[in-house]
């Protein structure tokens, strides 16, 4: 059961990517600003300002459709470096109040402030203070929801958006939940909603009124879950140590690509990027998964588990490119690579005697030498990249290509597709 006093905060930035853009370029203020891939290249909207939303534009909508709804919208290619920087600042603010912070993505997090009252005041005080500090320190606007459970807190932050501040007290749970459409329940998607509507269930109150046994009979295990939520029951705790399970990158192309060389080059750039991301997080992974989607939307994945975990781009690429050869050829609409079975780089690795015999092209000595050297070289290259930008050092094969994330120069060089977004953040 949720505890009586609301102590869980859900803080959600309003139109985060778009707001960062407007903040950094005030001439955009008041205009319908969208961040996403270009309409010509099957791009989708990653974020839309509230001015754009007024036209019916929302995130995950194909850019072409957004353009029809809002012909005057300002479309910007995503610049994740700046979003990440802003995100880092915001997370720091959260952590200055409590260590119990569970980030959900770049721009939202759960906080549990139980036990912080004597230090920082009530949950409401903290909520106000956080919003004020975010505004002051990043010039961005956040919505805050405060409730006794995660589900209700997230719901609350959404109710008064933008610039919202909403508290759901224990005694207000029923009256707040009952009139909401069932789709607001976390876990009720399009299909479940359709089935619920057929049962005459339109609102959360309707669902809560159903007999539990019946919901379970019809929806199985997820029935237990949605019925609990409909009653405001959400036992999940805020987990600051939620570990990343995987890290990857995928991208939908503006036009289908069938040239194997072109695909390999793209794959190399993804692997470099994923490796950089893993290194930045102090992680390395053991399992590499390649994902391809054909023009007919058929999706295939191939996976290989390494003997030794890695976070080096070239090693990831050597595996991923082999996997690419193992999928049926054909024009690809999407290509992606993902690394899972992650572990901390400080974890010692027991070496394997016969690793080289699994990669027969090189002798053991050569392989270890190159791996060792590659590691040292990568460390130095990463330093340069952090100081002079992501493109300061890159593999020769990638020279002259636009960056995957971040921009080569401000406000131009839009990447194809929806922007290469790290696959572990929001994704459809």
To another protein, the closest distance from the beta carbon of 372 in angstroms equals 5
241 contacts another protein (rule: CB under 8 A):
no
Q: Binding string, 164-183, against another protein, x = CB under 8 A?
A: --------------------
Q: Which residue, 27 or 350, is less far from another protein as judged by CB?
A: 350
To another protein, the closest distance from the beta carbon of 13 in angstroms equals 34
Q: Tell me which of 347, 361, 396, 409 binds another protein, using CB under 8 A.
A: 347
To another protein, the closest distance from the beta carbon of 348 in angstroms equals 4
Q: Which residue, 85 or 358, is less far from another protein as judged by CB?
A: 358
Q: Which residue, 72 or 303, is less far from another protein as judged by CB?
A: 303
Hey, which residues between 351 and 380 contact another protein (CB under 8 A)? 351-354, 356-357, 363-365, 368, 371-372
Determine contact, residues 109/102, Cβ cutoff 8 Å.
yes
Determine contact, residues 160/175, Cβ cutoff 8 Å.
no
108 is catalytic: yes
| DSSP code of residue 72 | T
Q: Which residue, 54 or 349, is less far from another protein as judged by CB?
A: 349
Which range, of 123-131, 177-185, 341-349, 389-397, touches another protein by CB under 8 A?
A: 341-349
To another protein, the closest distance from the beta carbon of 100 in angstroms equals 22
Q: Tokens in use for 101? A: 């912070």
Question: Whole-angstrom distance between the N-terminal and C-terminal Cα of the chain?
Answer: 31
Query: Contacts with another protein: how many residues (CB under 8 A)?
Result: 18
Q: Is 169 left (phi over 0), alpha (psi -120 to 50) or beta?
A: beta
Q: Tell me which of 348, 396, 412, 428 binds another protein, using CB under 8 A.
A: 348
Q: Which residues contact 57 (CB under 8 A, 6 or more apart)?
A: 32, 34, 45, 48, 66, 69, 70, 73
Cα–Cα nearest to 93, from 82, 116, 109: 109
350 contacts another protein (rule: CB under 8 A):
yes
d(CA 109, CA 121): 20
Q: Tell me which of 129, 257, 345, 397 binds another protein, using CB under 8 A.
A: 345
d(CA 381, CA 371): 15
Q: Which residues contact 307 (CB under 8 A, 6 or more apart)?
A: 352, 355, 358
To another protein, the closest distance from the beta carbon of 380 in angstroms equals 14
Determine contact, residues 103/109, Cβ cutoff 8 Å.
yes
Q: Which residue, 105 or 371, is less far from another protein as judged by CB?
A: 371
Angle at 293 (CA atoms; ends 426, 253), nearest 5 degrees: 70
Which range, of 128-136, 152-160, 331-339, 347-355, touches another protein by CB under 8 A?
A: 347-355
Q: Which residue, 72 or 369, is less far from another protein as judged by CB?
A: 369
Helices 313-326 and 260-280: angle between axes, nearest 10 degrees = 140
To another protein, the closest distance from the beta carbon of 387 in angstroms equals 20
Cα–Cα nearest to 38, from 335, 414, 317, 421: 414
Considering 108, 272, 273, 421, which one is annotated as catalytic? 108
Contacts with another protein, residue ranges (CB under 8 A): 345-354, 356-357, 363-365, 368, 371-372
Which positions are annotated as active-site residues? 108
């Amino acid at each position: 059961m949720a505890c009586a006093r609301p102590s869980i905060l859900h803080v959600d930035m309003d139109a985060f990517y778009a707001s960062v853009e407007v903040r950094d370029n005030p001439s955009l203020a008041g205009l319908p600003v969208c961040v996403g891939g270009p309409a010509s290249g099957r791009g989708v909207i990653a974020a839309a300002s509230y001015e754009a939303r007024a036209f019916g534009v929302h995130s995950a909508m194909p850019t072409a459709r957004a353009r029809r709804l809002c012909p005057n919208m300002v479309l910007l290619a995503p610049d994740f470096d700046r979003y990440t920087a802003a995100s880092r600042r915001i997370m720091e603010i959260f952590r200055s109040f409590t260590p119990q912070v569970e980030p959900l993505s770049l721009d939202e997090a759960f906080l549990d402030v139980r036990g912080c009252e004597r230090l920082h005041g009530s949950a409401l005080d903290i909520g106000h203070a956080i919003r004020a500090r975010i505004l002051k320190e990043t010039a961005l606007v956040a919505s805050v929801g405060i409730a006794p459970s995660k589900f209700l807190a997230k719901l609350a932050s959404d109710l008064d958006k933008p610039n919202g501040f909403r508290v759901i007290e224990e005694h207000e749970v029923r009256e707040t939940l009952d009139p909401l459409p069932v789709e607001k329940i976390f876990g009720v998607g399009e299909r479940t909603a359709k089935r619920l509507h057929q049962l005459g269930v339109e609102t959360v109150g309707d669902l809560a009124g159903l007999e539990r046994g019946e919901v379970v009979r019809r929806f199985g295990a997820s029935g237990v879950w949605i019925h609990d939520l409909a009653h405001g029951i959400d036992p999940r705790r805020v987990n600051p140590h939620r570990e990343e399970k995987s890290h990857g990158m995928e991208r939908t192309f503006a036009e289908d690509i069938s040239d194997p060389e072109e695909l390999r080059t793209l794959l190399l750039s993804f692997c470099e990027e994923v490796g950089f991301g893993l290194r930045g997080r102090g992680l390395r992974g053991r399992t590499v998964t390649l994902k391809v989607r054909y023009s007919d939307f058929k999706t295939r994945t191939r996976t290989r588990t390494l003997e030794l975990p890695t976070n080096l781009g070239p090693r990831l690429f050597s595996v991923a490119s082999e996997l690419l050869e193992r999928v049926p050829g054909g024009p690809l609409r999407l290509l992606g690579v993902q690394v899972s079975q992650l572990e901390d780089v400080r974890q010692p690795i027991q070496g394997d005697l016969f690793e080289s015999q699994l990669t027969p092209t090189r002798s053991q000595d050569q392989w270890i030498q190159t791996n060792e050297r590659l590691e040292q070289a990568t460390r130095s290259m990463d330093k340069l990249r952090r100081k002079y930008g992501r493109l300061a050092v890159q593999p020769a094969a990638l020279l002259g290509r636009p960056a995957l994330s971040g921009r080569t120069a401000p406000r131009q060089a839009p990447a194809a597709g929806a922007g290469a977004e790290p696959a572990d953040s929001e994704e459809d």
